[in-house]
Amino acid sequence: MGLRLKFNLVLVVVFLAGFAAAGFVSRELLQANARDEVVRDARLMLEAALSVRSYTVDQIRPHLIKQLDDVFLPQTVPAFAATETINTLRKKYAEYSYKEATLNPTNPRDRTADWEADLVNRFRNHADVTEVVSERQSANGRSLFIARPIQITNAACLQCHNTAAEAPPTMIKIYGEANGFGWKHNEIVGAQIVSVPMEVPLAKAENAFHTFMLSLAGVFVAVFVVLNVMLSWLIVRPIRKMSESADRISTGDFGEPEFSERGGDEVAVLGSSFNRMRRSLEKAMQMIGEQ
């Protein structure tokens, strides 16, 4: 096995090990960064919904509450306002969603699906759980969701949700008496759930991964070629010349020119040593011939 082949085998083995390690680490890092990006988007969307809720409670509801006896305005309900605002956003970003999923809602559109009911019950059964971040497969593909409990901390909410008899007649006229009642103070009745698609960030991470790995492979090919050229020019070629010269000298042919001794690297030192050995051998052969 030649020196070049041994060198190339070692180089390829080292590269493959490094390539695999770099691929694993970079893929995990890019995927984690993509997920973090999705989580940030979901949190931003959730905070936007909470801001709309607060704005409705602080600045909209006080001005419209007096009309409750004459007409019920859903716009005064924080959950309605937040949902409508996000629905407007969804006209452009349909894959994003926001829902105030409730076990016993006044508005039927807020009723929990099976997986949402499981989340609400988890919040109800585990008081220490204040947020759930997880993934699920939706109709639009893989998505990440953030859920937070909806707890009745404001007793004013019970004005509409205690009993049908106590609720505003204008609300009963719209939604009926069957749903949205029997809520208790400090009870967890639902969950705010924001869903954000993961396909686009993950696809970007995958493209970045492929680009990185192709670039790494390109760099290796370039390094491989350069190292082989240098190996051939600086090491293999001089050593092959010395080997051929040694073969001819061993048969008594001393007509070979001496090797250049310029430079201070190992090949130059080897050439210098070879030249001294050649001169010594030539003198020894001359002395034998004179005898």
Q: Report the number of distinct structural domains present in the chain.
A: 2
Q: What CA–CA distances, in Å, run from 139 to 158, 197, 206?
A: 36, 10, 22
- Say what the pLDDT of residue 215 is: 93
Domain boundary among 182, 198, 214: 198
Q: Is the pLDDT of residue 251 over 70?
A: no
Interval 131-147: pLDDT, tens: 999 988 877 778 899 99
Answer yes or no: do 103 and 24 share one domain: yes
- Say what the pLDDT of residue 94 is: 85
- Residue 98's DSSP bridge partners are 194
**How is 66-99 classified by DSSP, letter by letter?**
GGGGT---GGGSHHHHHHHHHHHHHTT-TT-EEE
Give residue 147's domain range: 20-198
Answer yes or no: do 179 and 252 share one domain: no
Answer yes or no: do 171 and 40 share one domain: yes
Domain boundary among 179, 198, 217: 198
106 within 8 A of 160, measured Cβ to Cβ = yes
Share of the chain above pLDDT 70, in %: 88
pTM: 0.70
249 within 8 A of 281, measured Cβ to Cβ = yes
137 within 8 A of 32, measured Cβ to Cβ = no
- Say what the pLDDT of residue 63 is: 78
Domain boundary among 149, 165, 198: 198
Answer yes or no: do 148 and 214 share one domain: no
Answer yes or no: do 224 and 143 share one domain: no
The CATH number covering residue 244 comes to: 1.10.8.500
pLDDT band at 277 (very low <50, low <70, confident <90, very high): confident
Q: Pick the closest to residue 106 from 148, 78, 67, 147 (CA basis).
A: 78
Answer yes or no: do 47 and 137 share one domain: yes
Would you say how long the chain is, in residues?
291
- Say what the pLDDT of residue 276 is: 73
Interval 29-77: pLDDT, tens: 999 999 999 999 899 999 999 999 889 888 888 877 777 777 888 888 8
CB atoms within 10 A of CB 228: 15
Interval 67-105: pLDDT, tens: 777 788 888 888 889 999 998 988 888 888 999 999 999
Most confident of 154-158, 171-175, 268-272: 171-175
Q: How far apart are CA 245 and CA 232, in angstroms?
A: 18
Answer yes or no: do 172 and 99 share one domain: yes
Q: How far apart are CA 88 and CA 100, in angstroms?
A: 16
Q: Is the pLDDT of residue 124 over 90?
A: yes
- Residue 193's DSSP bridge partners are 99, 147
**Which stretch of 13-27, 134-148, 238-252 has the lowest confidence by average pLDDT?**
238-252
Q: Is the pLDDT of residue 261 over 70?
A: no
Answer yes or no: do 256 and 132 share one domain: no
Answer yes or no: do 128 and 32 share one domain: yes
